Structure 1
Amino acid sequence: MAVEQSIHILRQIRSRYVQAKLWLYALQAIAVAAVGIAIFSRWRFEVPVLAFVAISMIIAAILYVALRWRSVSQTSLQQVARHLNRQYPALEDSTEMLLHEPQNLLQRLQQQKIAGVLQELHPEKEKTYTLRSTASYVALGLALVLTAGILYLPAAPLPDPKQSPEVQITFPDAPAAAADTATTIEQIEITVTPPAYTGKKAYKADNPNLRVEEGATVNWRIRTNKPAKALQLELNEQQAQTFKQSKTGYTFSRSFSQPTLYTINLNGQKSAFYTLEIIPDEAPAIEISKPKEYTEIRLGEPQRVSLQAKLTDDYGIREANMIATVAKGTGEAVKFREEKMKLNLSGNSRSYSINQTLDLQKLGMSFGDELYFYLQAWDNHRGYTRSETFFVQIEDTTIVEASFDMTAGVNPVPEYFRSQRQIIIDTEKLLKEQRSISKAEFQERSNNIGIDQKLLRLRYGKFLGEEFESGIGPGGGIPEGAGGHEEAQHFEGDGHDHPEFENQNSPEALLDPYLHKHDQEGEATIFEPAVKAKLKGALAQMWEAELRLRTFKPKEALPFEYMALRMLKDVQQSQRAYVAKTGFEAPPLKEPELRLTGELNKITPLNERNTIKQKQQYPDTKAALNWLARYKQNGKYKPSDAALLERAGQELAQRAVNTPGQNLRALQDMRQLISEVRTGDGKLCASCLATVEHALTALLPPAAQTPQPKQVMRSKLAQEYMKQLEQ
C-alpha cells in the first residue's frame, strides 16, 4: 500500500508541473497575440504591411504554445523521480525504485524504506519545483498597455496611395462677404502627360506651379460647387481660353513647349499667378577619350586605331554611327571615299560606351593616306550632336617635307630610298603568307630578301668609300653609340690600305693628316660628319636585318628594316638644298603727289533722307513708377489707376515668361495692389508697393550715360581735395 501511494504522489507532482509550465507559456503567447490582434483590428487590410505583421504575430503565438505543450506533456515519472532525488537527500537517490518491481529481498526492503520517507515528507502538499514566471507577467502587462495604446490612442491618418494629390488655388480678389453664396472650386486635378520621346508615364501634379517636359500635355480638371458663368485659363495675361464643361466638371488640355505664367479666372475673379516651366530636351553628349585629335602612325607601328568614347542623353539615344572619310593621293589627284560605320555600343539607352578598334588596312589605307572621322548621335526627339573631326595619317617615307614654305627645293642627290621600302613590303608579305607556303619556300624567299638587303647595303656603302665589305658589319659600319660590338681587326689583304711609315718624321707621315684621299674607306667627303654618322648607322641596321633574313627570321629583321629606312630618310632630308623664290616687286606709289587730286565735279550728294522713329520701351512701366512716386508723396489714388497697374503687370509678365520663378512674387503683389485700388479699402499694402517698385525698376533698361557739367566746389577744403586729385 505504501508503494502504491508513493506512485500516486509522483503522478500528482507531474500533473501540477505540467499545468504550471503550460500556463507560463500561455502567458507569453497571449502577450504577443494581444499586440497582433490590436494592430489587425485597428488597420485591418488598409495597410497590407501592418496586416501581414499582425497575422504573423498571431500565428507565431499559436505555434509557440503548441510546440511547448508537446514538449512539456512528454514529462515522465522517471524525470519526476530524478527531480525528487535532487530535491530531497533523504531519499538516497532511490526514488526511481518505486517505479519498478523488486528483483530480490534487498530491493524490496529499500523500496519500502523510500516509500515511507516519501510519505513523511508529504511532497504532494509542497511545491517541489520553482518556475520563473515574473518575467512572463511583466511581458504580459507591457503587451496589454501597448494594445490599449494602439486601440484607443489617436494616431495620424495613413496616406491613401489611391487618393489624388490635392491642388490648392487661391483667389486674392474674391470678396469675403459673398463667400457663402459665390461659386468656388471644390477640387482641381492637374495631370501631366509627358511626350513619347521621354518614355515616362502620365502623372498627377501636387502643386499648381508646374515644371513639365518640353512638349508635354497638361490637363486641368476642375469641379465647382455651383455651375460657373465663366471659367477661363489666362496665359501671360493675354490669352484667355475657356474650359470645356463636362458631366464631372470643367476640363482644359494643352501642350506646352515654352515657359509661361497662368491664372485661372472664375466668374471674373483672377487667381494668383502660377508658373509653368519647361524642362528642355538636351542634345546627346559625345565624349571621345581615344584617339587624340591628330594621330600619326609611324613606320613599324600597327596600322590600327583604338576608339574609346561615351554617348549620353537625358532620355535616350535613338541612333549613333561614325562617318569615316579616306583620302588617297596628293595634289590634284587626291581621291576621297566616305563610309558610314556602325559602332559597337554597350550599355543602356541613356548611356552608351564605345570601345572598338579601327583597322586601317581593312579601310583600304596605305602609306601616306589620311583618315578623317567623326561621331554623330540622335536622341528620341530632335536632338543631334556631332563630334569634332579626328585625323589619322599613316606616315609616308617617299614625301619630303620642306623646312620652310616660301622656298623652291633642288634635289642634287638621286632618290635611292624606295628599295628599302620594297624590302619591308616583301618581308611583310612573306610573314602574311608563311602559313600557306612550305618551309623550303619560306626559307628560300627569306634568303632572297637577305640577298637584296646585302646588295642595297653595298650600294649605299659606296657613299662612304666602302667598296669592299671589310668595314661593314659588327664594328665597321656602326657609328659610336649605335652598337656594342668590338672593333674589327684589320689584316693584310682585307681590302684596306694600311699606310705604314717606318719613319714618323718623314714627309709622308707629316702630310698624311692633310691629304685628300678618295680611295680609302672612311675617308669619303661626300657627306658631312653628322650625315655620315647617320648613314653608317643605317648600314649597321641593314647588316642586322640581313643577318636575320639569312637565318630565316624575317619577323625579327623587320624592326631593323624600319629603323634603316627612317635613318635613310633623315639622310635624304639633310641633303636637300634650297634657293629662295624670286618674284615681282612693285614700285612704290607716289602718294603725296596723287592724293586728293581726283575730279569731283561729277559726284552728286545723296538727297534721300530716312527718318527713324525710336519706339519708347515699357511706357506703362514708366507710368506706373511715376504713379508709385506720387502715391508715396500724397497717399492718394483713384479706382481708375487699377487699369494702369494692369498694363504694367502685362509688361512685367511678358518679361517674366523666360524666367517664371523670378518675378512671381512681384506679380502676385501687383495683383493684390490692383484689387485694393479697385475696392478702395484705404491704405495700400506697403510691402507690396516695395516689391512691385523694385521689379518694375529692374525691368527698365539701364540709362545711357551722358556727360555731366562740372560742379562748382564752394568749400575750400573740397577745392583743395580736387586740386590734389588732379595733380
Structure 2
Amino acid sequence: MSTPESIHILHQIRGRYVRAKLWLYALQALAAIVVGLAILWRWQLEVSLLATTAVTIVVAAVLYFVLGWRAVTKTSLQQVARHLNRQYPQLQDSTELLLKAPENLLQQLQQQRVAATLQQLHPENEKIFTLRSTATYTLLGVGLLFSAGILYLPAAPLTAPQPETIKVDFPDNPVTAADTAVKIEKTEITVTPPAYTGKGTYRAQNPNLLIEQGATVSWRISTTKPAILQLQLNEQQPINFKKQGNSYSLSRSFTTPGLYTINLNGQRSAFYTLEIIPDEAPTIAIQKPEQYTEILFGQPQRVTLQAQLTDDYGIREANMVATVAKGTGEAVKFREEKINLNLNGNPKNYAVKQTLDLQKLGMTYGDELYFYLQAWDRHRGYTRSETYFVQIEDTTIVDNSFDLSMGVNPVPEYFRSQRQIIIDTEKLLKEQKTITRAQFEERANNLGVDQKLLRLRYGKFLGEEFESGIGPGGGIPEGEEHYKGDGHDHKEFEDKNSPEALLDPYMHKHDQEGEATIFEPAVKAKLKGALAQMWDAELRLRTHKPKDALPYEYKALRMLKEVQQSQRAYVAKTGFEAPPLKEPELRLTGELNKITAPSESKTIVTEKQLPQTKAALQWLATYKQTGKYKPTDAAILEKAGQELARQTLQKPGSNLKALRDLRMILTAMQAGKTLCKTCLVTVERAWVNLLPPATPTPQSQQAVRSRLSQQYLKQLNQK
C-alpha cells in the first residue's frame, strides 16, 4: 500500500507548481495593468477613446489572472503523478498506483517499490518542473518602460482633431487696415438629408455643395466683428443671416441646383455651386415569365415570377396588379386583384421569386391573365412595369375555317370528347384510393371504349371502314372473309381490259385507308399519328393503366389541334381599282384665268441673342487696341456677367473661374487700377464659347478666287 510519506511528497510538488504558475500569471497581468493605470493617470479621462482603451486593458488583465488562477488550482495529484513518470524513468510509469488501493498482490508489490524509489530521489531538493519565466520578466520590463514614457509625455492633453474650417474667398474685397477689417473666422456648413434617404446629418468639406434633393443646408459663420451677412442665390434677392452675437446662421432646403455667393458688408464672395442629387424612381426588371405566355392543355396551371426591384434609397411598397378576363365576345368579365410580392434582400435591391397558381385565381380553360408590377420608393417615386399576358389554352373552340370539304361536318364535339377523356382519366386517378379495385377497372375499361369510338369516328376521314390493327398496318377483322362483291374495291378483275379495270387507277376511293384523299398528305399524316396515339391510349385503358395512357391522350389532342390549325383558309383582301385616266385628252385643257398664285406675307422679327455679351466683346476688342477704359465701362461688363451667370445655372460648375476673374476685373476698374491680362483672356474665352455658332454667308466666286488662280484661268483662256 502507498505510504503517507509518498502522498505528502506528491502534495508538496503540486503546491510548489501552483505557486510558481500563479506568480507568472500575476507578473503578466501586472505588466498590462501598469500600462493601463499610466494612461488613466496621465490623461485623467480627458480623452474618451484613450480612457476606454485603458479601462479595457486593466479589465482584460484582471480577467486573465482570474482565469489562470482557476485553471492552475484545478491541478490534481493525477497530473502530478503523470509528470513524475515523464521526469523519472526509475518510477516505471507506476506513480499513479500510489493514489489508489491495490487490487492484487502484484499491484501491492509495485506500490512498495515505487514508494521506496520516490523517497530515495528526494524530489523536495530538486526542481522537477520547468516554467519559462524569461518572457514574462521581459514583458513586465517593457510594460514598466512604456508606462514611464507615458508619464513623461508633455503636459498638454490630447484632443480630438478638429475638422478644418471652410474658407470663403472674397476676390473683390479691397485692402483695408488690419485692425478695422471684418474677417470671417470660422465657417461651418451642415447638410441634413431628407428622411427618405435614411442618412444622417453630415458636414460639408467645401462651399461647393452636392446635396440630396430636398436636403436642408445650414450655414454657421463667425466673424471678428459685427457685420452684415447675406446669402445670394442665383442673382436673386439676398437673404439675411440670423445674428447671434458674432455668430450668424442660416438654414434653407433646396430642390433645384444653382449658384450662390456670401455677401459680407456688401462685398460678394466667389461663386459656389449648389448641385442636387435627384431621387430616382424605382426600376423593375422582370426575368420570368415572357411577356406573352400560353399554358397548353395538360401543363401545370402555374406561372413562375422572377423580378428585380431596385432603388437608390430603398423601396417602400411593391405589389402586383392582376386582372383575370373570363368569357368571350360581349360576355367578357374582368376581375382585378392585388397580390403581395415575396420580397427578399435589402430595400435597395429586392429579389422577387414566387409562383402564381392560376387555379387559385379562379382561372380555367380559355381565361386570360393580365398583370403588371408597381413599386413606390420612400419619397415620391413610382414605377409600373409593362403588362404581361398569360393565357390558358381552350381546346373546346374550333375555328369556323375548319373545312374538311366535300360537305363533311367539322364535328367540333370530337375535340371536346378527346378533352373529356383526358379530364375523366385525371379524375379517375384522383379517386383511385377512394374506390374499389373492381370499380377502378370498370371505369378504366369504359374510358377505353370511349377512346375506341372516338378513334373510329376520326378513322372515317381516312377511309377506314373497319377497325384497323394496332400500329401502322391495318387489316380485315378476324373471322370475316374477303370475297368479291363484299362492298370493297378489289384491284383484281377477271377481265383486265374491262372498263372498270382501266378506270381503277383514276378513281377516288374514300373507303380505303391508303386511298383517302380528303386531306393533303401532310395533314393526313398528322391525323394518322393522332389515331396511333389513340390506339396506345386505348391499349393502356383497357389494361387498367390510366396513368400510362394519359401522355398518349395529351399527344393525341395536340395533334388534333394541329390538324385544325392546318385547315385554316386565308382569302386575300380585295380593293377598289379606279379606271385609268385619259391623260392625253384632259391634260392642259382647263381654264387658268381665274387662278392666282398664292401670296402670304409674314414679318419675322429677329431676336438678338446675348446682346450684352456681344457688347462686352466689342469693348474688349477696343481695350486691346487702346489699353484705356472708363469707370462707366464697368456697367457693360456687369450686364454681360449676368448673362454668363444665367447660362452657368443650366450647367452648375462651369465658368466659375471666368466669373471670379470678371469680379476681379470689375474691382480693378472701380479702383482705377490696371486690369489683369490673364483674367481678360479667361473672360473673353467664356463669352466667345457662350455665343451661338455663326451662320455661314455665301460669297461671290470672284471674292473667293485668289490672284494666282485668276492669272491661271487667264492663261488657260488665252490658249
Q: How far apart are residue 235 of structure 1 and its match?
A: 0.9
Answer yes or no: is the 8 Å Cα contact 2:466–2:477 preserved in 1: no
Q: 1:198 to 1:713 in 2, by over 3 A?
A: same
The aligned residue for residue 707 of structure 2 is 714
Distance, in Å, in 1 between the alignment partners of 2:146 and 2:572 is: 105
Instruction: Go from structure 1 to structure 2 and tell me whether the alpha carbon gap of 1:304 and 1:143 turns closer, same or farther (over 3 Å shift).
Output: closer
Does the 8 Å CA contact 2:233/2:260 hold for their aligned counterparts? yes
Q: State the SS of the aligned residue for 1:169.
A: coil
- TM-score normalised over the length of structure 1: 0.74
* 1:719–1:357 distance in 2 versus 1, CA, 3 Å: farther
Residue 587 of structure 1 pairs with residue 579 of structure 2 = yes
Q: Which amino acid counterpart does residue 493 of structure 1 have in structure 2?
A: E
Decide whether aligned partners of structure 1 residues 364 and 668 sit closer, same or farther in structure 2, where only a CA change above 3 A counts. same
Partner of 2:45: 45
Corresponding residue for residue 208 of structure 1: 207
Q: Does 1:701 align with 2:692?
A: yes
Judge conservation of contact 1:713–1:719 (CA < 8 Å) in 2.
Answer: no
User: Runs of 5+ in structure 2 lacking a partner?
Assistant: 1-19, 73-86, 88-129
> What is the aligned counterpart of 1:419 among 414, 431, 452?
414
Are 1:420 and 1:561, in contact at CA under 8 Å, matched by a contact in 2?
no
Change (3 A) 1:494 1:559: farther
Q: Establish whether residue 340 from structure 1 lines up as the match of residue 327 from structure 2.
A: no
Kept in 2: contact 1:548–1:554 (CA 8 A): yes
Q: Give the deviation of 1:58 after TM superposition.
A: 5.8
The separation in 2 between residues aligned to 1:197 and 1:182, in whole angstroms, is: 44
Q: Does 1:349 align with 2:347?
A: yes
Q: Which residue of 2 aligns with 1:54?
A: 54
Change (3 A) 1:26 1:389: closer
Q: Is the 8 A contact 1:320 1:378 kept in 2?
A: yes
1:215 CA drift (Å): 1.5
Following superposition, the deviation at residue 263 of structure 1 comes to 0.4
Residue equivalent to 1:493:
480
Q: Which one of 542, 553, 559 corresponds to residue 561 of structure 1?
A: 553
Residues 1:526 and 2:518 aligned together: yes
Cα displacement (A) at 1:262: 0.4
CA distance in 2, matches of 1:24, 1:571: 96
CA deviations over 1:116-171 (Å, ceiling 9, x no partner) = xxxxxxxxxxxxxx99999889777766765566556679996638x676332222
Residue 546 of structure 1, CA deviation: 1.9
Counterparts in 2 of 1:368 and 1:385: CA distance versus 1, 3 Å: same
1:474 paired residue number: 471
Provide Cα deviations, 1:541-565, integer angstroms capped at 9, x if missing partner.
1112222333444343332222222
Distance of 1:559 and 1:266 partners within structure 2 = 88
**CA distance 1:43–1:489, shift in 2 (3 Å):** farther
Q: Which residue of 2 aligns with 1:94?
A: none
Report the equivalent of 2:533. Answer: 541
| Mapping of residues 283-432 of structure 1, within 5 Å | 283-330=281-328, 332-333=329-330, 335-347=332-344, 348-397=346-395, 398-400=397-399, 413-428=408-423, 431-432=426-427
Q: 1:253 aligns with which of 230, 251, 254?
A: 251
Distance 1:399 1:364, change over 3 A: farther
| Residue pair 1:322, 1:376 contacting (<8 A) in 2 also | yes
> Residues 399, 369 of structure 1: CA spacing in aligned structure 2 closer, same or farther, 3 A cutoff?
farther
Shift of 1:671: 2.2
2:229 pairs with one of 228, 231, 234? 231
After TM superposition, the structure 1 stretch with the greater mean CA deviation from structure 2, 267-276 or 345-354, is 345-354
**C-alpha separation in 2, matches of 1:156 and 1:377:** 58
Q: Distance in 1 between matches of 2:35 and 2:672?
A: 63
2: CA distance, partners of 1:457 / 1:286: 50
Distance 2:41 2:712 in 1: 92
Shift of 1:702: 1.7
SS in structure 2 at match of 1:197? helix
In structure 2, the residue matched to 1:458 is 456
**Contact kept in structure 2, 1:417 and 1:568, CA below 8 Å:** no
Question: Which of 222, 232, 240 is the equivalent residue of 1:242?
Answer: 240
Q: Is the 8 A contact 1:371 1:392 kept in 2?
A: yes
1:341 partner amino acid: K
Q: Secondary structure at the match of 2:650?
A: coil
Distance 2:263 2:550 in 1: 86
The answer on whether the counterparts of 1:39 and 1:150 sit within 8 Å (CA) in structure 2 is yes
- Whether the aligned pair in 2 keeps the contact of 1:288 and 1:309 (CA below 8 Å) is yes
CA distance in 2, matches of 1:336, 1:596: 63
Please state how far the C-alpha of 1:537 moved relative to its aligned partner: 1.0
Show CA shifts across 1:632-691 (max 9, x none): 3343333333332222222222112232122222222222222223223324151x3333
Amino acid in structure 2 at the alignment position of 1:234: Q
- Maintained 8 Å contact 1:26/1:65: yes
Contact 1:223–1:250, Cα closer than 8 Å, also in 2: yes
| Mapping for residues 506-521 of structure 1, pairs under 5 Å | 514=505, 516=507, 517=509, 519-521=511-513
Q: Pick closer, same or farther for the CA change 1:201–1:634 going to 2, 3 Å.
A: same
Is the 8 Å Cα contact of residues 503 and 509 (structure 1) preserved in structure 2? no
Kindly, what percent of the aligned residue pairs are identical? 58
Q: What is the match of residue 615 of structure 1?
A: 607
Contact 2:425 2:550 in 1 (8 A): no
Map Cα deviations across residues 582-641 of structure 1 (whole Å, 9 max, x no partner).
54322234566267947774879677x543322211122222223333333343333333
**In the alignment, what sits opposite 1:674?**
666
Q: Which residue number in structure 1 is paired with residue 270 of structure 2?
A: 272
- 1:657 is paired with a residue whose SS is helix
Taking the aligned partners of 1:144 and 1:717, their CA distance within structure 2 comes to: 102
Alpha-carbon offset, residue 280 of structure 1? 0.2
Give, as a single letter, the amino acid of the residue that structure 1 aligns with 2:480.
Answer: G
SS at 1:314 equivalent = coil
Aligned to 1:118: none
Q: Which moved more, 1:699-708 or 1:27-36?
A: 27-36
Distance 2:25 2:455 in 1: 105
Contact 1:327 1:334 in 2 (8 A): no
User: Are the equivalent residues in 2 in contact too, given 1:410–1:579 (CA < 8 A)?
Assistant: no
Distance 1:157 1:409, change over 3 A: farther
Tell me the residue number matched to 2:616. 624
What SS does the aligned partner of 1:667 have? helix
**Residues 685-709 of structure 1: CA deviation (Å, up to 9, x unaligned):** 51x3333222222222222233244
Q: 1:473 to 1:423 in 2, by over 3 A?
A: same
In the alignment, is residue 197 of structure 1 matched against residue 192 of structure 2? no
Is residue 2:562 matched to residue 1:570? Answer: yes
CA shift, 1:36, in A, is: 4.2
* Contact 2:297–2:393 under 8 Å retained in 1: yes
Q: Deviations over 1:400-446 (max 9, x none)?
A: 4989xxxx998954222432333323532553473496345554444
Task: From 646, 652, 663, give the equivalent of 1:660.
Answer: 652
Q: 2-side partners of 1:23 and 1:437: how far apart?
A: 82
Q: Residue by residue, what CA displacement relative to the aligned partner does 1:470-497 show, whole Å, maximum 9, x if unpaired?
A: x2323436xxxxxxxxxx8997737697
Which whole-Å CA distance do the structure 2 matches of 1:287 and 1:523 have between them?
57
Q: Which residue of 2 aligns with 1:124?
A: none
Whether the 8 Å CA contact 1:186–1:224 is kept in 2: the answer is yes
Q: For 1:602 and 1:63, how far apart are their aligned partners in 2?
A: 114
Matched residue count: 631
Change (3 A) 1:700 1:48: same
Q: 2 CA distance for matches of 1:46 and 1:615? A: 70
Q: Aligned partner of 1:476: which letter?
A: G
Q: State the partner residue of 2:119.
A: none
| Alignment partner, residue 160 of structure 1 | 160
State how far apart, in whole Å, the 2-side matches of 1:59 and 1:573 are. 86
